[in-house]
Amino acid sequence: MKYSPLVERIGGDGSNAWEIHYRGMRRVRAGEDVIMLSIGDPDFDTPAPVVAAAKQALDRGRTHYPEIVGELPLRQAIADYHLKTNGQDAQPDQIVVLAGAQCALFAAAMCVLAPGDEVIALEPMYVTYEAVVGATGADLKMVPLRAERGFHLDPADLEAAIGPRTRAIMISSPNNPTGAVMTRAETEAIAAIARAHDLWVLSDEVYASLVFTDDRVSIASLPGMAERTATVSSLSKSHAMTGWRVGWVVGPVELARHVAKLALCMLYGSPPFVQDAALAALTDPVAIAEVARLHDTIRARRDLVFARLNQVPRLALHRPEGSMFMLLDVRQTGLSAFAFADRLLAEEAVAVLPGDAFGPNAEGHVRISLGLDASLLETACARMAAFVGRLP
């Protein structure tokens, strides 16, 4: 049987990045003591008021068709949260609730990109971006965020990449996998380029609540950018709600209308009881306090892992300014990132993600998640140090 050419466009290296993770999970399910540092899923429980709100909603029969774009109280709460976190004064009619930030990014991309367009992405980049752009029929062009610059942008590289087919710039800050947070100067430079060339910006800000620097600014809050920016975010990382699949896109009203039409034929709205839980996550004082606690805990874990691994010969760490990830430079071991991750899992039962799939500038690095408690991170660091110590 024949398949659509789409199936080829949604493959690529990014979709194959998880081999070692899946292998590690099989060993975990078999009862082995494997430390999984390969996925960004916080070990926190979803805040109790959020779970209670979902249970109460189910008891009230909130199980029928929802409003497609998301119910108004939730969209207003998202607008308030967006203003606090990102500095953009958005209104509910600029917001569409979707099944996680990944779904929101896909929907926004489908509504602004066309076959033959070119999208510039800053790499290293999250592994799904390639497939998202491919699904639209557009072409992906990567601009480097170099390790020697701390994975920060040289605006001249971005300006040089602009061509006649360029339609959009795709960014993430804090970045996954590097943890780098774009400075105000970098963000303003991107905004200036977007305005000068009349480009869209697709801004992935799912880690906006996990920032450890004071120099971050959301690009949609800058002059002339609200009308050309689609900001996507979710409750997955900030509220330890990865399995709830609650995300959104914030953009111009016209874009929100187009995304709503796509949601109508693709998703048909987020379940009402999940929306009630999301509303509690954004408004309940206990849930809000948990967001701050998660932020402080991840920052402490970052400092712990940096202190432990940065003293191991032949390893070099990039100290993240945000997110829940760190990139470990393993090039001095003489192993490729995949070989390092493969042997680390086999010999020390620690699963990390090879950096190659995130883009050429992450080659020779592995990504470490900070989603486990301090004692497990301590043990994982000791195992990594022992592994490196045995290498010739």
pLDDT in tens, 93-105: 999 999 999 999 9
Q: Comparing C-alpha atoms, which of 55, 51, 56, 41 is closest to residue 100?
A: 41
Q: Do domains 6-45+287-390 and 64-283 have the same CATH topology?
A: no
Structure pTM?
0.92
For residue 170, list its beta bridge partners.
121, 202
What pLDDT, on a 0 to 100 scale, did the predictor assign at position 171? Answer: 97
Instruction: Give dist(CA 197, CA 210) in Å, integer.
Output: 31
Spatial CA neighbour of 219 closest among 246, 196, 251, 247: 251
DSSP 14: G
pLDDT value at residue 4: 85
Q: Tell me how long the chain is.
A: 392
Per residue in 332-364, pLDDT (tens digit) is: 999 999 999 999 999 999 999 999 889 999 999
Q: What is the CA radius of gyration of the chain?
A: 21
| Distance from C-alpha of 114 to C-alpha of 131, rounded to nearest angstrom | 14
Instruction: Look up tokens 């699904």; give the residue.
Output: 135
Architecture of domain 6-45+287-390: Alpha-Beta Complex (3.90)
Q: What is the pLDDT of residue 155?
A: 96
- Please, are residues 287 and 240 in contact by the beta-carbon 8 Å criterion? no
Spans in the chain with pLDDT lower than 70? 12-17
What residue spans define the domains of the chain? 6-45+287-390, 64-283
83: Cβ contacts below 8 Å, ≥ 6 apart: 89, 90
pLDDT at 20: 86
> Which pLDDT does position 386 carry in this prediction?
97
Q: What does the pLDDT read at residue 150?
A: 93
Confidence at residue 56, expressed as pLDDT on a 0 to 100 scale: 97
Indicate the DSSP class of residue 211.
B
> Quick one: fold of 64-283?
Aspartate Aminotransferase; domain 2 (3.40.640)
| pLDDT score of 13 | 59
pLDDT per position as a tens digit, 261-281: 999 999 999 999 999 999 999
pLDDT of residue 16: 56
